[in-house]
Amino acid sequence: MVLKTFGWSFAVTALGLVAAVLFGGWTALGIVAILSVLEISLSFDNAVVNAGILKKMNAFWQKIFLTVGILIAVFGMRLVFPVVIVAISAQLGPIKAVELALNDKDRYQQLVTDAHPSIAAFGGMFLLMIFLDFIFEDRDIKWLGWLERPLAKLGKVDMLSVCIALIVLLISAMTVATHAHQHGGTHVDKAETVLLAGIAGLITYMIVGGLSGYFEDKLEEEEEREHEAEEEAERTGKPRSAVQLAGKAAFFMFLYLEVLDASFSFDGVIGAFAITNDIVLMALGLGIGAMYVRSLTVYLVRQGTLDDYVYLEHGAHYAIGALAVLLLVTIQYQINEIITGLIGVVLIAASFWSSVRRNKAIAAAEGKAGSDEKTEVSSGV
């Protein structure tokens, strides 16, 4: 099971490390290894959230997520995205931006750092909306009941998540964005840039998330009709037509996963510049890490981990909320990537431990109930 799920990750790791040695020697090997660990530690919560979505897809779309999806994740977000950011912020052509990334690494790093406010605002708002929509939904299983019960009641107010997100964005634009951190330790006013980028992140979430949610609802409706059609076919012996909507629904959920992965990768891409400004080594290291995150996502789905440890998804969403806030704070202040990674790990570890305690309590209660039944039977009651 482990080899089947993580086989591609092991292969990509071997190829990536060999490529690093050929490109820059043993020093490059060490850098790529560090970047891989960085990406995995920062994106573990991403894997948990992705698993909650991916478990709704069939084996075909899970395979697409691991193949086509990883190409988008590695080449799109870890290689092309930083170059596109530089091209837009510096108003350069794509070819010129690539030349800059390969030949003038210091200038390239400077331009990416200067573009960080817009990146953080876009990603921060997208992730914040994911967190808010989660905590305002009334769920049967609650981790922090004292907090989640009143929030679920507040969630009945229409568009509350959007209103809170816009308030947070306005506060960010009027505070941290007015002294945005730039290359060299200087600070400039980026309020307008942050406002526009944040609104773009909000719109992106509403479009992609809305479409995936719509088609997911339609898929559930079609599955109910399919079940009814199966029962009817069994009674009458007539052939039934296949449901065609599943592919469309899965496609939009796949699209949602890719945008979600993009938002999670912002902190990893930015944090990588603290280790190296070589775009090739960055792509190799973050790409290896991204592959493990994807394999871990599929592993969680196939093992049914989210069903066994019911609070894991809660912990991951709280980590998303924390990451969203941290991204907005980093517009003005520099925060060590170790802190960013540890917050997510601690929250998920706490939710895992709570899940284990819950499972033990349920097992103990069932065992006690079973022993009571045996006692009643043996006593003839």
The CA distance from 292 to 33, in Å, is: 13
Give the pLDDT confidence of 314-363 residue by residue, as tens digits: 888 898 888 888 888 888 888 776 677 678 778 888 988 999 999 898 88
Q: Which of 25, 16, 30 is nearest to 79 (CA)?
A: 16
Position 244 scores a pLDDT of 41
Indicate the SS3 state at residue 181: strand
Give the pLDDT confidence of 135-147 residue by residue, as tens digits: 998 888 889 888 9
Q: Output the six-digit token pair for 110.
A: 């400077």
Give the pLDDT confidence of 176-213 residue by residue, as tens digits: 888 887 766 778 888 998 999 899 889 988 887 777 66
The CA distance from 262 to 252, in Å, is: 15
The CA distance from 285 to 74, in Å, is: 10
| All structural domains of the chain with their residue ranges | 2-367
